[in-house]
Structure 1
């Protein structure tokens, strides 16, 4: 295992040195190493606190109350999570100028906590560290939302327009955000190395980006503990902890 990992890391180092533009792509696996639960594990707390579908959230005040209750229950489980070695490795690659931004399926804000600016993180599924008004788009802090929710049992409305507030994540049934999707597509088209970290590559449309990069001539690297549907197409596959691989790139 040591020889396999060392050889894989050496190969990845060579590929990174040879790359002109690297696109990073992260999934739940990079954050499970920080203590954030994986949505798809059979015993995951997400299964007991499933996100409310978007149409139900819009249609029912009771659904909105339950959505916020589940949201704060999950937040309490990983509120002390810190960026993993994988997050810090990604941050170093971006700081070096080799990687313009990281595309992420995650909603935990740990890439920003690792030191990245908002424009260096392309969030395909939104961000769970704040709330947004569905009407005017104004941001609201979660501490403010929670204090009022727990005091009254009712989630507050937007302070600017009175609209419905929702965690700034993309719920089931909600349209994918247009700007991040365009940004991700642009970076995928530009890159000559696409680096997948901790994604099962089964959630679409996000999982289409690595396949598009490969078809466009980029090298494809997948670092994930479990096999993925794209392993056979990849130029390098490393079945290992992300932190054990990317810790070598922290500067």
Structure 2
């Protein structure tokens, strides 16, 4: 089955933020309390109830001020740090390539938050129970709200007025993205780039950029940190081993203590003789 992806064309985005509204509506996410910060950009960041956000970057082009618009949400990496470090395996890869999430398995440990090179996952802690849960975009694959599994586009793609978002087979979108980048280069955008084709094994959200990634606030060469690798290959296995040894030790301690107690019972020694 062909992997799916979203192609985001920054040159078509007009920052209407219809994608933000559609995401909230479809995924039944509540609104944020915001305030005017001198820009139409809001809310200020992703949160447990805001899974996609359009970022505004003020820059200068040809001596005049200009705005650049970019999409902030889960990138659905092939080599996903969040999947690697999640102890209860609440995060996993869907058969279509995107990173899905089983909220019931999440323990709120926050490893995914620290590991993600794009700083996407967000956690929310219940002040009464103390239980924390992570939240992020799952590309509309949540059970009961699964658009993709029912042959539909993700809500953000469906609602995008300028067609800056496109959903389809990843290979097809990579070719489309390359074509658009070539067209931009022909128009003089020498730094035009297709972001996500190769980064972290290939992202399932691809960006057509008319300038370099750092201009749009994207890491130039995103990598999984050494701490993440150590967590997966050393710390977690060692923790499981120590946990197992602790259980065995407690069991042996119980058996020894029980035998000692029985040995002190009146009449036991005579009976054994």
Instruction: Specify if TM > 0.5.
Output: no
The structure richer in helix per residue is 1
TM-score normalized by structure 1? 0.30
Q: Which has the larger radius of gyration?
A: 2
TM-score normalized by structure 2? 0.28
